[in-house]
Structure 1
C-alpha cells in the first residue's frame, strides 16, 4: 500500500503506523468516499460548509439559548491554529491533546488543530492522572488544552514526562485559552494535508482495562458522515443534533460534531449532558436527532418525558446492546423507533444499522453502504445464514493501532474482527448474539450474556442488569447477574426468587443465573459502556458485595 506524500514535518504518527501487511483491507466502493489525494478534514467540514450556506448560520446551540455561528466557529478555530503555530512553535504532525468537556471551545480547538496540520488526541476530563499518563506517554503531545477543573490530574500526569507538553488552561478566571485566541486576528491558511495523513488518535473505550490507541486519517473523519450519516440517518441542513456522549469518544465526536458540520446542521453542546437533561431541551432548542445509550431512553421515559421523544425525527441508540424490550418500550411510549447500530473506535463510527421502514426489532441492521460484513468461523471461513460466528467488517475505514502488537488480534486476513458474535439472516440483517468475551460456557452449554440480560430487564422491579461468567469448580463457569433494582425496591431473597422464576419461565434452565448480586449502579466507563471486566473481578472475589447465592437453578 502506497501512502501519499505527507504534509507532516513531524512524522511521528506516520512512522508509528502498523506495517501495511497488518492493515485491514480498505475499500472505496461508493463515490461518496472517493476523496482527492490532498484533503484537510477541517476545511471540508467548516470552510466548504460556509461556502455552501454562509457564515451566519447557527453551528452550535447552548442550553442558555446562546449560540455560535459558523463564522464565529471558523474565527475561533483559525485563532487557535495561530496560537499553536505562532505562540508555541508547533509544526504539522505535532500532537495536540484536548482534555475538555463538551463545549464550543472544544470544537474550535479540534478544528483549529486539524487546520494547522496537527494530530488531535481527545481525552476525558473525568480521567484521573493514572489513566491520562499512559496516553500522554505514548502520543507525546506538544500542547495540551486542559479544562481548569481537570488541571490537577493533568499536571500530575504530565509530571516526569520526557517531553512535557505546554499547557493552555481553558475556562476559569482568567481563561488562558480565550486570552491567547483574542490576541490573534484569525484568517489562518490551512495546511494542505494528505487525505491519508493521520488526523486523530483515539483511545479505545471497550470493556477491557487496557486502552489501545487508534489512528484515523483526514479522509476517515469524512467517511462515516458520508456513509452512515448520509445513507442511514439521511441528515439534512435543518437537523439539530444532540448527544450524551463526550466529544472525547468517536461516537460523540461523529454524531455531535462531524455529521452536523458536514451537512450544515447545528449541534447542541452541554458540558455533562444527561439523557433527561437533553430531553428537556428538545423543544426549546429544536433538537431533531438524539444520540444516547439504550438505558438513556429508558430513563427519559421513566421521568415522564416520552412526549419529548415524539418531537424527534430520529433517535440513535448505541454504546451498548439495544434489547427488544427497550426498543418496544420506547416505541410504545413515544412512537419513536430507535435506530440500532454497531460501531467501533477502530472503525471510527457505525457500520451496521438500519433506519425507517428498514428497522427490524431485535436486529442490529444491515451493512451501511460503503461497508461489507461477514460472519466468520475461528479459521476465518465465511459462514452461511443462521450460523453464529465472529463479525468481520471491511470498508473505507479500518483498524490501525499506534505501535501495538494487538493489531494482529483485531485484523485477520484483511477483516476487522470486532470481537462480537453475530448471526446474519437470508435478508442480510445482522443480529447481535454476544461479545466474544461475554459468551459464558457453563456445564458444556453456551450462554449469551445479552440474552439473559434482556430477560432480566423485563422484570418489573429491575432497572439495570449485566450478566457475566463466574468461574465455578463444578460447571467451569456459572451465570452471574448483577442487578440494579428500580427505585424503592431493595435486593432481597424474595426479589431473587421472583427474578429467577421470571427467567425460568422464558429461557432454558441452564441459562438461569445461579447467582444474583445487587448494586446501586453498574460500573461504566466515561463513554457509558458497562465495564464487564470489573463485574467479573467482583464476582470472582465476592468482595464487599451484597450477594444472594442461588442454588438449584
Structure 2
C-alpha cells in the first residue's frame, strides 16, 4: 500500500480545520520510508564523499541493505525493544541502521560523532544499548568505554572512508555481506517504540526522548508547508548532523516518506563554498539550514554556482531581516521559511510565505495537525490573547509528541500538565493567531542550532582538578546566535591563566562534545549562588 500524508492546500484555515491523522494500524516506519514505493529503482540517496567518490542508492537498495542488517543484528541478539546506538556521520550505514532496527521492532538511538567519551558513555549506559554501530574515528572511543556501559555487547565498525578496520573489530560490511537478503519485519503499530533522541536539560543529566514509529509522519504537514513545492522534482539536502531531529525529522525521513531523494555528505565543519558546490552538483531544490550556516553562506559570491534552489527552511533561532533580504537579492527570491520545534515535539509552528502573510519577528502559526496553545504552565489553561505563557502542544493522538523521557518518569510528568506537553519556551499569541517568542523558561543555550544544557557542560569542566566551581551561560553572538561562556573559579592557590583556559576548553571538547565547549572562559574569585548553593546563572548573564 502506497500511503502518503496529505494536507488540504486551498488555504491555511482549511488545512487546519480539515486535517486528520489517518495512520495505518500496522504502520512500520521502515516500510513507509523505503519499502512501500511502487518504483523501487528510483534514487533515494545521492551519497558524496570528501575524496570525490559518488554513490547512488535506490529505495530498493536501502530496503535490501536494511533487510540484511536486520538479519545480522538479530544474529547478534537484538530483538524487540532493544536499543542500538548509531554513532555515524552522513553516510549510508546511518539510515540503514535505523531502518533495520525498526524492521526488528528494536529502538535506534542516533548519537553525534561530535560526542567524546563522557557524552557517549552516559547515553549508551543510560539507554542500556546492546549494540553500537560506529565509524572508524569513534571506534576506539566506544570500544574503550564499553565495559562501563551496562548491556553493551557489540561494537560494529563502519569504514566509510576506506581507511581500513581496526584489528579484530566486528565490521558492518562483513555483517551485511554474510546476512540473508530476505527479512520479514515484525508486527508494529504507530505506537511501537522506535527511537530515542537525547536532549540536554538546563540542570541534571541529558534526557532521552522516546518516540514511536509514527514520529516521522508527524513531521510531514510542516514539511509540505515550509518547502512549498511540487514533490515530483524535489531533491533535498542539509548539512545538519544526522544525529539530530533537525536533520532526520525536518528533512531526511519526510523526503523518503514522499519518495524523494536526499543528498548525503560527511562534511564535518560547515564549509559554505562546498555547500554551494553540492547544491549545484545534485540540483538541490530544498534545504534545511541553521541560521548560522545561512550567515556563513552570505559571505560567498553566488554568481558562479548554477543553483536549482526553490526553498530554504531554517530553525533553532529567529531569522533576521538581513537573511531574508539576502535570499531575495542573491538567490532570486528563494523562499526562506522558519520552523519551530524541539526534540520532544518537533515542527509545531511555521512561518510559511505562501500559506499566510509573514509577520516580521513572529514565529508564525501552528502547523495543521498539531493543537498548539500558549498556556499557564501551572494548570495548562490557555492564557488570554497578548499575555505571556508557555508554548504547549496537546499530547493526545499527536504522532510528533514524544512518549516519555527514558528512565525519568518524574521529568516526563514535570512537562505534562492537563494533557499538554510544555515546551519550556515563553511566548504570546496575537489576535490573528501568530505566536511571538519571548524567552526560554530555563537556562538552555541555543548555539549554531544546537540546544545545550549548561549543567552537563559545568560537570565536564569540573573534571579538571584545578577548577573548584563553574557556571555556564549563553551569550549573544552574531554568527552562532549564542556561544557558550563559562565562569570558572580555580581551586585555592591556582592562577587562572591562558594555559588553564586552554586546558579546560580542550577537556570539554574532547570528553563531552566538540559543539559544547565554552568558546569564552572567564576566571572569577567566586560565583554567585543561592542560599542552597546553586549557581545563579541570571547573575552571570549580566556580567560583561
Task: Decide which structure has greater helix share.
Answer: 1
Which one of the candidate residues 235, 241, 261 is aligned to 1:240? Answer: 235
**Deviation at residue 537 of structure 1 after TM alignment:** 7.9
Q: Distance in 2 between matches of 1:339 and 1:39?
A: 30
Corresponding residue of 1:410? 415
The one-character-per-residue Cα deviations of 1:69-121 (angstroms, maximum 9, x if unpaired) are 11211111111011011x31322221111111111111111111111111101
User: Counterparts in 2 of 1:110-509, with a 5 A limit?
Assistant: 110-171=98-159, 172-174=163-165, 176-205=171-200, 210-225=205-220, 227-234=221-228, 236-272=231-267, 274=270, 276=272, 277-305=274-302, 311-334=308-331, 335-347=333-345, 349-357=346-354, 358=356, 359-379=358-378, 380-394=380-394, 395-399=398-402, 400-404=404-408, 405-437=410-442, 482-483=476-477
Q: Distance in 2 between matches of 1:90 and 1:101?
A: 23
SS of equivalent residue, structure 1 residue 193: coil
SS of equivalent residue, structure 1 residue 434: strand
**Deviation at residue 351 of structure 1 after TM alignment:** 0.9
Unpaired segments of 5 or more residues in structure 2? 1-15, 455-472, 481-501, 528-539
Mapped contact 2:429–2:435 kept (Cα < 8 A): yes
Q: Distance in 1 between matches of 2:321 and 2:393?
A: 24
The one-character-per-residue Cα deviations of 1:233-274 (angstroms, maximum 9, x if unpaired) are 356142111112111111111234211110110001111252
Assess, with a 3 A threshold, how the Cα gap between structure 1 residues 30 and 525 changes in structure 2: closer, same or farther: farther
Extract structure 1 runs of 4+ deviating beyond 4 A: 28-32, 205-209, 306-310, 479-486, 523-531, 533-543
**Deviation at residue 46 of structure 1 after TM alignment:** 1.0
**Deviation at residue 38 of structure 1 after TM alignment:** 2.1
**Deviation at residue 369 of structure 1 after TM alignment:** 0.5
Assess, with a 3 A threshold, how the Cα gap between structure 1 residues 529 and 221 changes in structure 2: closer, same or farther: farther
Mapped contact 1:327–1:361 kept (Cα < 8 A): no
Mapped contact 1:300–1:306 kept (Cα < 8 A): no
**Deviation at residue 153 of structure 1 after TM alignment:** 1.4
Corresponding residue of 1:83? 72
Mapped contact 1:480–1:539 kept (Cα < 8 A): no
Higher mean displacement: 408-417 or 213-222? 408-417
Q: Distance in 2 between matches of 1:79 and 1:401?
A: 31
Assess, with a 3 A threshold, how the Cα gap between structure 1 residues 408 and 307 changes in structure 2: closer, same or farther: farther
Q: Distance in 1 between matches of 2:164 and 2:509?
A: 32
**Deviation at residue 541 of structure 1 after TM alignment:** 7.2
Q: Count how many residue pairs are aligned between Structure 1 and Structure 2.
A: 445
**Deviation at residue 309 of structure 1 after TM alignment:** 9.6
**Deviation at residue 221 of structure 1 after TM alignment:** 2.5
SS of equivalent residue, structure 1 residue 93: coil
Corresponding residue of 1:69? 58
Q: Distance in 1 between matches of 2:290 and 2:202?
A: 15
Assess, with a 3 A threshold, how the Cα gap between structure 1 residues 208 and 160 changes in structure 2: closer, same or farther: closer
Q: Distance in 1 between matches of 2:227 and 2:390?
A: 26
Unpaired segments of 5 or more residues in structure 1? 1-27, 440-448, 454-465, 469-478, 487-518, 544-548
Mapped contact 2:196–2:209 kept (Cα < 8 A): yes
Mapped contact 2:235–2:286 kept (Cα < 8 A): yes
Q: Distance in 2 between matches of 1:527 and 1:246?
A: 16
- What's the TM-score, normalizing by structure 2? 0.73
